[in-house]
Amino acid sequence: MDTLTESAVASRYRPLRWRPAAYWLATAAVAGELGVGGVWDIARIPYVRDLVTHLGYPAYFLVLLGTWKVLGAAALLVPRHALLKEWAYAGAFFTYTGAVVSHLTTGYAVGELGPLAALAAVTVVSWTLRPASRRTQRPAAP
């Protein structure tokens, strides 16, 4: 009976092992893109500068956006500071969905929207799978 009970408990909690791995994979992807993209924005590399200009944004916007991206990447990776992480997730989501809308309104090919939509989706996956230690605490119900 002990073996059966241990087996039942083990099988019940086995599916939860994927959650931390999926969280860190999604978070690493989002933080990596934010970090690298932010550095590219701050450096105003020609490809990024031309893209942003074609979308109708001023070149100085890249330094502002890039700085926030790098700070957002750092916020997602450091321990604790759950409220800061919430802001970083919101900023990443707004960045990616804003990029989708900007591309749609300026006539870019629909095929270019896939990576942007995927980054928005991966941001939501990371946010959804974050462990309790990285969540804001809800106030207790009265």
| pLDDT one-digit tens code per residue, 81-138 | 999 999 999 999 999 999 999 999 998 878 889 999 999 999 999 999 998 888 888 7
Cα–Cα distance for residue pair 24/46, rounded to 1 Å: 32
- Are the C-beta atoms of residues 75 and 84 closer than 8 Å to each other? yes
For residue range 25-67, list pLDDT tens digits in order: 999 999 999 999 999 999 999 999 999 999 999 999 999 999 9
pTM of the full structure: 0.82
Give domain limits for the chain: 31-130
Distances (CA, A) of 81 to 5, 86, 88: 39, 9, 11
Q: How far, in Å, CA of 47 to CA of 75, rounded?
A: 27
- C-alpha neighbours within 13 Å on the C-beta side of residue 65: 22
Tokens at 108, concatenated: 């870019």
